[in-house]
Amino acid sequence: MAAGSEATTPVIVAAGAGGEEGEHVKPFKPEKAKEIIMSLQQPAIFCNMVFDWPARHWNAKYLSQVLHGKQIRFRMGMKSMSTVPQFETTCNYIEATLEEFLTWNCDQSSISGPFRDYDHSKFWAYADYKYFVSLFEDKTDIFQDVKWSDFGFPGRNGQESTLWIGSLGAHTPCHLDSYGCNLVFQVQGRKRWHLFPPEDTPFLYPTRIPYEESSVFSKINVVNPDLKRFPQFRKAQRHTVTLSPGQVLFVPRHWWHYVESIDPVTVSINSWIELEEDHLARVEEAITRMLVCALKTAENPQNTRAWLNPTEVEETSHAVNCCYLNAAVSAFFDRCRTSEVVEIQALRTDGEHMKKEELNVCNHMEVGQTGSQNLTTGTDKPEAASPFGPDLVPVAQRSEEPPSERGGIFGSDGKDFVDKDGEHFGKLHCAKRQQIMSNSENAIEEQIASNTTKAPSQTFISTDDLLDCLVNPQVTRMVAQLLIQGRSL
């Protein structure tokens, strides 16, 4: 079987009874949709849930009229099949209007303007991470065209959403969002999603360079992997699905994903949904930010572009990062005061999960291929029948060759990818679950419980406090194991 797709597992497609668009009946009521989202542990596609959304008709031409003359930043990437991921730090950027993008996308070789240096046959363009609040700042009424309230989140609309517009080949490198879950509404064109479960993290060779506060990247180009350099990727369980207009994809917390546009123009809208687990995760991310910024700035103070993602616009000084860390810690304890039991239980659950991984990536258990079509729910709950019955069906497993063996979308017209069945406050600043609990987790839980009565000033974290944790013998032992393993691959 193909590398990274040996355990190609079906992605669930959620479509309730009576969900035909012509009947104007939505298959799930908001409270049921939210129940599904909060319990699912694998990706799912909701069908027939957005047919009455005004945003259903937001194609690129319509948006160019709404945003007439507005300058938008486009990321320009190469249409190539290198084994090296095309990170955002290696791309070029231009400011252009949607009208100029559409003209260039018609492959007019004699075009002038911002796209003039980019041959359409060799480059793709991506207007990604465009927050509604900035993009439509003088047209706030348009927020109501997006109705996430249909999925059980009252009052949530375009104000909490981002817009993505791309040409054929535009893609996001493989990464995971370390907190929150994701709802993605496909408006125009199709996108191909490659997803991997959280337990595959060791096989995806995670890295924090380039650094983005809300993303852990993979060192692998998952559509054209270098298996000599990254042999463990063979064990990864690839889930693939083509997202078509009118569908909404649910991406659970910590699922890795690589997303590529497979039609000439694609338009997507997404919203990251906050979760209870995010409070502790923000502390982890603040720690990561402080370390990365301190070490990389010391290494090369004049060239942050080499390691800092262009999406990161905040100052990276040590003083600012200390503020981030202390704000995250204070917020965590504030949350503990209001829901002490919930937070401590979440910490205990995460610790037990890490124990199962035995704190040693070298001994990571190989994930079995179950081929099950049952709904995956919380691991601490007894297995139950799917709540959707016959209306929750898996996408059929594919037998075609993987992209790495057929040259990707640039080795064909993109039709190979057709499915038979048819972001502090922007991108949740997803704090990454990279910190592994040590054997002293019970002591940590007790300290959290005792600190719930302390004032915020008593939770101040100094640089020395952080270093005391980072150079703890248990931590350095684990780091040494990871370094040795990495050098031996």
* Mean pLDDT value across the chain: 76
Q: What is the C-alpha R_g of the chain?
A: 23
Q: For residue 413, what pLDDT band results from cuts at 50, 70 and 90?
A: very low
Contacts of 174 (CB under 8 A, 6+ apart): 85, 194, 196, 204, 217, 218, 220, 221, 222, 256, 257, 258
User: What confidence score (pLDDT) does residue 14 get?
Assistant: 60
Q: What does the CA dihedral 350, 352, 353, 355 come to, rounded to 10 degrees?
A: 130
pTM: 0.75
Please indicate whether residue 460 or residue 389 has the higher confidence score (pLDDT). Answer: 460
15's tokens: 């479509």
What is the structure's pLDDT at 25? 83
Dist CA 170 CA 328 (whole Å)? 34
Question: Which of 243-252, 411-420, 461-470 shows the lowest per-residue confidence on average (mean pLDDT)?
Answer: 411-420
Do residues 142 and 130 make contact, with C-beta atoms less than 8 angstroms apart?
A: no
Using a pLDDT cut of 70, give the percent of the chain over it.
67
Q: Which residue has the higher pLDDT, 105 or 418?
A: 105
| pLDDT tens readout for residues 18-27 | 444 445 789 8
Q: Which domains does the chain have, with CATH numbers?
A: 30-275 (2.60.120.10), 276-347+475-488 (no CATH)
* Confidence (pLDDT) at 355: 46
Highest mean pLDDT: which range of 53-67, 193-207, 292-306, 444-458: 53-67
Q: What is the pLDDT of residue 156?
A: 97
Question: How far from each other are the two terminal CA atoms of the chain, in whole angstroms?
Answer: 22
Range 138-141 contact pairs with CB under 8 angstroms and sequence separation of 24 or more:
139/66
In the chain, % of residues over pLDDT 90: 45
Q: Looking at residue 359, what is its pLDDT? A: 38
> Is the predicted pLDDT of residue 471 greater than 90, yes or no?
no
pLDDT digits (tens, 9 = 90+) for 93-135: 999 999 999 999 997 666 789 999 999 999 999 999 999 999 9
Predicted local confidence at residue 427, as pLDDT: 46
Dist CA 73 CA 70 (whole Å): 10
pLDDT at 386: 59
Over residues 420-460, the pLDDT tens digits come to 333 333 344 333 333 323 333 443 344 444 444 444 445 67
The predicted model gives 302-321 an average pLDDT of 84
Pick the closest to residue 221 from 251, 187, 186, 256 (CA basis).
256
**Which tokens is 159 given?**
């104000």
Which segment of 55-59, 289-293, 428-432 scores lowest on mean pLDDT? 428-432
Which residues does 471 contact at the CB level (< 8 Å), separation at least 6? none
pLDDT of 483 higher than 80: no
Confidence tier at 311 by pLDDT (50, 70, 90):
confident
C-alpha distances (whole Å) from 221 to each of 4, 63, 93, 229, 257 are 11, 32, 21, 12, 11
477 vs 378, higher pLDDT: 477
pLDDT-based confidence at 487, cuts 50/70/90? low
pLDDT for 394 equals 39
